[in-house]
């Protein structure tokens, strides 16, 4: 099932923050993880990830650092900041409330 | 890097919106390229026929990415552009200003002394005044200090002070002192007439002062008679023996003026008062240069009349001999009877060691010349009494001289090892040394002066390096059609703080604590006896400041260049030093705390080794500069980027050292100059406190003996 781009856009920030809250990661790794964990349900154009990462970095939610791998390859790793963690918490709570409200609207109230 | 032109085109297009920030563009380009590399590898592993095309397809449209990237980085680009503009517009000019200010401060301190090297003491008064003095003077104070420099000769310049205050005797006698010097040089009749006229005015204003008569007598004597000397068989010294008369009438006139002076109640040159007024106008010294300047001003004021009085004294005794031969015994007796007053008048007015030594010389001269005259007059008992009296009067001076020649004065060794170099140049001639606790301020002051010099050298070195880096950046800016245009890598706040903290603040703070609070710094020794340790300490702090600043900045720039994919040379020497930095610092640290003997080979070799090492380091710096300027083109972007990025770091260090170390050392210098009472010229006389005490003591001893003998004032 392919999701609409509008719906995906609304989830990019919490998804990136969630993955970075686990550990520091580089862009390609984030993309691979999204595909793996959603079983390729999210069809992200890979190039669109970087503007998001830069935007989050500009807002101080994540930081980046170039690190050389043991093979000598340079990769830019992103790390979540305290502000990013707080934002993740807020956005997670927001998503939970939002999805619960949409569920109620679409499927009726949950049985008591 | 990606060799496929499709990938290059994609990367160029995707980052085209970031062109305004070349570092950011390279950074994002490198990040996307790294992503494409990984995607190609995976596609290749998955057996895809065209892994490059597959990777590009996954990335999406380059134009869309370019727009998103530009929008996402717009704010960041604005901030970074502002930082760059700030660095260019504020940091670099501020560093140049601080360096210029430091150089100006050093020049202000050194120039007054440099302008007077090899010149007469008077030149101090007309040379550039130390800062803090010239700006605070009123026109009248300036006149009292320097006279009127618009007039051509020194006497006329000093006359201007008296003309502005015609009732002031101090200014009058100050002018007379200078005028008499002019007369000493040209013995023309016109000059004599002018001198007589001035002295007549002075006699009206200061009628009770014998000095006016003595100056007149001295002026007349110049063309009237000369003293012939013969060598004494015992002492081998030249002794006045005969008066060669050139103009008898003028000689009589001179001796009449002398007699008139001897009848007056006092003899005063007012040199002490003039010196005291000038020193009070200058205020207390607040720098070493200011202190030297005060000494120069004092030296330009004092010591008039001494040769004139010496000449008058011996001529008067020889003249008495002529009167005896002519049968004018009553006149001769009166002159011989009055003559000792001349010496005691000078003794009362004396306030420098040279004054007192001249008094002593006059007494010794009288001891040889005057008693035989009394014998000629047929008064052997008067001759004997005079011998006895004069022997008692010369005793204090003889004792002091004998003490200087025989035996070691107490405190001498301690003084020579722990006193300042300035003091050890001036004190030994006195033969008396101050208590050891008085030595600390002057000694520490010299360390502070050296440190001020070093901090200025460091600032100038860094400023020179700043310009050299600018030159390297400029050279690569226009090479290869701008392809090697250097980047100004903007360090984050943490990296910038680290460079300033480790490069400047910590080494300087460590040096301060080490030298001020640890006895192993050796500051209880004077600067020459501690030269080896001092060299090590200065080399250590200078090396750390230069080494750490350059190393930290270079390391940050290299890491960033590597991240941006900038091609770099393999810096083997840099890596060698980089890997041994801790070892070099440790060895230097151990050398710093070694207990040293000033006679050891190590102690004597260190200053030469330090000078050699400094020369090598400077040579190394020039070599690196030339290499960065003319190195291979393919490394141009790296050379230029390193040079351009070093500039803000060097500027920051210049600002930190210039605004912290400079003012702190100036404050310390001022405190020590004011604490160093020993080397401060005193309005009471003498160039040092020890000289002042010695003069007072010898003077009191001579006057005490004279009083007990009932010598008339």
What residue spans define the domains of chain A?
5-103
pLDDT in tens, B36-94: 999 999 899 988 888 899 889 888 899 999 999 999 999 989 988 998 888 888 888 99
Query: Average pLDDT for residues B506-514, to the nearest whole number?
Result: 91
Query: Average pLDDT for residues B415-443, to the nearest whole number?
Result: 83
A78: helix, coil or strand? strand
* CB contact A69 to B (< 8 Å): no
pLDDT of residue B413: 79
Final residue of a structural domain among B76, B91, B111: B111
Query: Average pLDDT for residues B91-110, to the nearest whole number?
Result: 87
- What residues of A are in contact with residue B75 (Cβ under 8 Å)? 58
**Whether the Cβ atoms of residue B152 and residue B253 lie closer than 8 Å to each other:** no
User: What element of type H or E holds B227?
Assistant: strand B225-231
Cβ-count burial B351-379 (b if 16+ within 10 Å, e if not)? bbbebbbbbbbbbbbbbbbbbebbebbeb
> How far does CA A7 lie from the centroid of its chain?
13
- What residues of B are in contact with residue A73 (Cβ under 8 Å)? 34, 37
**Whether the Cβ atoms of residue B99 and residue B460 lie closer than 8 Å to each other:** yes
Q: What is the DSSP letter of B429?
A: G
pLDDT in tens, B390-424: 999 899 888 888 887 776 666 777 888 888 888 88
Q: Tokens representing B598?
A: 């000033």
Q: How far is CA B525 from CA B519, B530, B593, in A?
A: 10, 6, 15
Residue B376 and residue B323: Cα distance in Å, rounded?
Answer: 11
Please, what is the average pLDDT of chain B?
85
pLDDT of residue B550: 86
Residue B565 and residue B637: Cα distance in Å, rounded?
Answer: 11
> Structural domain tally of chain B?
2
B277: helix, coil or strand? helix
Residue B700 and residue B694: Cα distance in Å, rounded?
Answer: 10
**Angle B107-B109-B112 from CA coordinates, rounded to 5°:** 90
Q: Tokens representing B501?
A: 């903290």
Please, what is the average pLDDT of chain A?
88
Query: Average pLDDT for residues B6-25, to the nearest whole number?
Result: 92
Domain A5-103: state its class: mainly alpha
- What residues of A are in contact with residue B31 (Cβ under 8 Å)? 27, 50, 76
Query: pLDDT category, B229, cuts 50, 70, 90?
Result: confident
> How far does CA B376 lie from the centroid of its chain?
59
Query: Average pLDDT for residues B345-364, to the nearest whole number?
Result: 90
**Whether the Cβ atoms of residue B4 and residue B467 lie closer than 8 Å to each other:** no
pLDDT of residue B471: 94
Query: pLDDT category, B210, cuts 50, 70, 90?
Result: very high
Q: Tokens representing B626?
A: 């030339």
Query: Average pLDDT for residues B543-555, to the nearest whole number?
Result: 86
Q: Which residue has the tokens 């930082």?
A: B83
| Position B9 in a domain | yes
Q: Which residues of B touch A (CB under 8 A)?
A: 14, 27-28, 30-32, 34-35, 37-39, 58-62, 64-65, 68-69, 71-73, 75-76, 559-560, 562-563, 565
pLDDT of residue A90: 95
- Nearest CA to B331 out of B339, B223, B246 is that of B339
Reply yes or no on whether the pLDDT at B121 is more than 60. Answer: no
For residues B17 and B532, the model is more confident at B17
A18: CB partners within 8 A, 6+ apart: A88, A92
| Position B146 in a domain | no
pLDDT in tens, B131-167: 666 667 888 988 888 888 888 888 888 999 999 999 9
- The boundaries of the domain holding residue B11 are 5-111
Q: Report percent pLDDT > 70 for chain B.
A: 91
For residues A82 and A43, the model is more confident at A82
Query: pLDDT category, B655, cuts 50, 70, 90?
Result: very high
* CB contact A54 to B (< 8 Å): yes
pLDDT of residue B123: 55
- φ and ψ at B606, to 5 degrees? -55, -50
Final residue of a structural domain among B56, B78, B111: B111
Of A47, A50, A74, the CB nearest to B563: A74
**Whether the Cβ atoms of residue B291 and residue B678 lie closer than 8 Å to each other:** no
Query: pLDDT category, B668, cuts 50, 70, 90?
Result: very high
Q: What is the DSSP letter of B521?
A: G
- Nearest CA to B392 out of B703, B713, B712 is that of B703
pLDDT in tens, A3-41: 777 777 788 899 999 999 999 999 999 999 988 888 877
Final residue of a structural domain among B90, B111, B132: B111
pLDDT of residue B599: 56
Query: pLDDT category, B713, cuts 50, 70, 90?
Result: very low
Strand partners, B225: B245
Query: Average pLDDT for residues B358-375, to the nearest whole number?
Result: 90
Q: Report percent pLDDT > 90 for chain B.
A: 29
Query: pLDDT category, B31, cuts 50, 70, 90?
Result: very high
Q: What is the DSSP letter of B596?
A: -
| Position B475 in a domain | yes
Contact B565 A48 (CB under 8 A): no
């Amino acid at each position: 099932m392919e999701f609409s781009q509008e719906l995906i856009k609304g989830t990019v920030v919490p998804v990136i923050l969630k993955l970075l809250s686990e550990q520091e990661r580089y862009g390609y790794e984030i993309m691979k993880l999204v595909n793996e964990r959603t079983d390729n349900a999210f069809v992200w154009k890979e190039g669109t990830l970087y503007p998001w990462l830069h935007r989050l970095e500009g807002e101080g939610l994540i930081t980046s650092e170039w690190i050389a791998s043991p093979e000598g390859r340079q990769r830019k790793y992103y790390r979540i900041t305290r502000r990013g963690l707080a934002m993740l918490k807020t956005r997670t709570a927001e998503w939970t409330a939002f999805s619960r409200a949409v569920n109620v609207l679409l499927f009726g109230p949950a049985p008591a | 890097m990606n060799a496929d032109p499709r990938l290059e085109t994609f990367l160029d297009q995707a980052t085209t919106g970031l062109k305004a920030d070349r570092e950011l563009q390279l950074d994002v380009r490198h990040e996307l390229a790294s992503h494409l590399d990984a995607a190609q590898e995976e596609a290749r592993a998955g057996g895809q026929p065209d892994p490059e095309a597959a990777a590009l397809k996954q990335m999406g449209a380059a134009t869309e990415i370019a727009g998103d990237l530009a929008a996402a980085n717009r704010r960041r680009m604005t901030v970074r552009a502002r930082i760059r503009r700030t660095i260019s517009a504020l940091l670099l000019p501020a560093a140049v200003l601080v360096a210029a200010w430091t150089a100006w401060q050093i020049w202000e301190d050194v120039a007054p002394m440099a302008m007077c090297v090899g010149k007469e003491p008077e030149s101090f008064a007309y040379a550039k005044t130390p800062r803090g003095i010239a700006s605070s003077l009123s026109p009248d104070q300036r006149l009292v200090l320097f006279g009127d420099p618009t007039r051509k000769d020194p006497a006329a310049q000093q006359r201007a002070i008296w003309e502005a205050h015609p009732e002031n005797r101090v200014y009058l006698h100050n002018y007379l002192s200078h005028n008499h010097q002019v007369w000493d040089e040209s013995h023309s009749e016109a000059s004599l007439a002018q001198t007589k006229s001035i002295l007549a005015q002075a006699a009206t204003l200061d009628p009770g002062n014998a000095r006016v008569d003595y100056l007149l007598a001295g002026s007349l004597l110049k063309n009237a008679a000369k003293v012939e000397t013969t060598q004494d068989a015992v002492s081998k010294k030249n002794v006045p023996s005969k008066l060669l008369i050139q103009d008898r009438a003028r000689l009589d006139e001179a001796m009449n003026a002398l007699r008139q002076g001897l009848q007056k109640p006092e003899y005063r040159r007012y040199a002490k008062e003039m010196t005291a007024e000038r020193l009070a106008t200058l205020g207390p010294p607040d720098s070493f240069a200011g202190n030297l300047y005060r000494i120069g001003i004092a030296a330009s004021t004092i010591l008039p009349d001494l040769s004139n009085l010496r000449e008058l004294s011996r001529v008067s005794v020889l003249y008495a001999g002529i009167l005896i031969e002519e049968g004018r015994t009553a006149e001769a007796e009166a002159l011989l009877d009055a003559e000792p007053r001349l010496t005691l008048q000078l003794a009362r007015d004396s306030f420098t060691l040279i004054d007192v030594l001249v008094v002593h010389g006059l007494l010794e001269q009288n001891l040889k010349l005057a008693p035989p005259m009394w014998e000629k007059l047929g008064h052997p008992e008067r001759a004997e009494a005079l011998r006895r009296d004069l022997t008692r009067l010369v005793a204090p001076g003889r004792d002091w001289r004998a003490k200087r020649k025989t035996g070691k004065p107490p405190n001498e060794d301690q003084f020579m090892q722990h006193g300042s170099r300035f003091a050890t140049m001036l004190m030994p001639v006195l033969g008396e040394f101050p208590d050891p606790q008085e030595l600390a301020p002057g000694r520490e002051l010299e360390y502070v002066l050296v440190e001020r010099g070093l901090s200025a050298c460091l600032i100038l070195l860094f400023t020179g390096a700043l310009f050299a880096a600018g030159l390297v950046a400029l050279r690569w800016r226009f090479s290869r059609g701008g392809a090697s245009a250097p980047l100004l890598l903007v360090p984050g706040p943490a990296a910038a703080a680290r460079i300033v903290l480790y490069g400047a603040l910590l080494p300087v703070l460590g040096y301060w604590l080490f030298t001020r609070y640890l006895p192993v710094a050796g500051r209880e020794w004077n600067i020459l006896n501690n030269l080896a340790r001092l060299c090590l300490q200065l080399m250590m702090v200078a090396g750390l400041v230069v080494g750490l600043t350059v190393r930290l900045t270079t390391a940050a720039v290299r890491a960033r260049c590597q991240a941006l994919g900038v091609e770099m040379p393999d810096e083997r020497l840099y890596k060698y030093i980089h890997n041994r930095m801790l070892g070099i610092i440790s060895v230097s640290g151990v050398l710093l705390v070694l207990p040293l003997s000033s006679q050891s080979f190590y102690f004597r070799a260190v200053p030469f080794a330090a000078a050699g090492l400094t020369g090598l380091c400077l040579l190394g710096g020039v070599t690196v500069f030339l290499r960065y300027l003319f190195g291979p083109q393919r490394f141009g972007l790296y050379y230029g980027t390193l040079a351009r990025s070093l500039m803000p770091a060097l500027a920051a260090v210049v600002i930190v050292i210039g605004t912290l170390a400079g003012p702190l050392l100036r404050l310390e210098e001022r405190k020590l100059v004011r604490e160093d009472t020993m080397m401060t010229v005193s309005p009471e006389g003498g160039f040092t406190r020890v000289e002042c005490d010695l003069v007072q003591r010898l003077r009191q001893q001579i006057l005490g003996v004279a009083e007990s003998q009932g010598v008339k004032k």
